[in-house]
A = this chain, B = another copy of it.
Amino acid sequence: MTGSYFKKKVEAIDVREKSVSKLLAEMGRTAYQGRKLGEAVDVWEAMLKEKELTIIMGFAGSMSTAGQWKMVNWLIKNRYIDVLVSTGANISEDIVDAMGLGYWQGSHQVDDQQLLKDDVNRYYDVYGKETDYREMELLLTDFLMTVKKDYPYTSAELLYLLGNYLNKKGVKSIVAAAAAKKVPVFCPAIADSAYGETFLMAKNQGHPIVLDSVKEFDQFVSIGEKTKEVGVVYIGGGVPKDFTQLLAISVSPKTMDEGVPGRKGHLRKGIKEYYYPHRYAIQITTDSPQWGGLSGCTLEEAISWGKIDIEGKRAVCYCDATIALPLITHALNERVKFKRKAPDLSWLFKSVS
């Protein structure tokens, strides 16, 4: 038994000129979260080599104000992700920047009452102008006036239409990049963001929108019926992570009872239901397991639920995404030289195309 502990040595890093991906590979042979960051690149690379895998990224927090959104566009353009599940913040605040307005490097130690008087919103150490935010809301409202009244949209449908609208305006935001590549963007709590106010503004102009979260969930889980395997990347936790995990166990009531044709499911004894654990998983989080919440919990906890496959590859790195995401994307860019075979999910947009 003893011998099995000693397979791979910790290798102390020598400082020399090397590429980002080489450095991450070396960090992958150290320990603690440095090793995990290196492993996260390995897991993502392994996902890209799979033939029949749908990669879903959960994207929480307020990352677009923090200069992270163009990396998501890059992931979409290269089809290193196939579905995005996002907070409303991440796919509205990026539009401010894509419109050429932007955000400023500020300080988290500042007089917030003075900021308020000066119409400046603070995101930790980032400043944004309220007037710029409003410009973005007006653009969104203009868009909403162009869509069908009283039609029960899902967020994925509405954001696809928005992406096309923004592409025409030359506003190259995340949903615009996604629409161009027909990558669905789900935003399960979309009203909880700038979108919420724009819905009210459209309604106030006599143009009420309906967003049906039941239809949306149905649409999301139907992805599970048309893919062989699923890999997930969680940048932060929250609703995007939780929602994405439900795919593993809620493919649809019918398929849960009978199993998805052509897909290897597991039968849960006690309730006679199929589940389809996600085979690959990467999680970047700043939360911790001991608080009992979903955002910080281990991927092992998800195994008990049938949400993650114990046989699959997985890596959790506890690190601010503003550090981890740039490193991982740049390492992927250096390392992945082949073109990935990405699944076609354009059927999701049929009813609104």
Contact = CB atoms under 8 A, between A and B. Distances in A.
A108 B316 CA distance: 12
Given A238-B238, A326-B34, A330-B15, A218 B189 contact: no
Given A1-B114, A33-B323, A116-B303, A289 B124 contact: yes
Q: How many copies does the complex hold?
A: 4
- Name A's interface SS: mixed
Contacts of A31: 65-67, 103, 105, 123-126, 292, 322
B109 A300 contact: yes
A210 interface: yes
A118 to B, nearest CB: 5
A301 interface: yes
A346 interface: no
A167 interface: no
A281 interface: no
Interface string A13-39: 111111110010011011111110100
Interface of A: 1-2, 5-20, 23, 26-27, 29-35, 37, 60-62, 64-71, 74, 89, 97, 102-106, 108-109, 112-116, 118-127, 129-131, 134, 152, 188-193, 196-197, 199-201, 203-204, 208-218, 221, 236, 238-239, 242-243, 246, 249-250, 252-254, 268-271, 273, 286-295, 297, 300-301, 303-306, 310, 318-320, 322-324, 326-327, 329-330, 333-334
A-B pairs, 7 with minimum CB distance: A34-B322, A30-B67, A31-B66, A191-B217, A32-B292, A33-B320, A119-B270
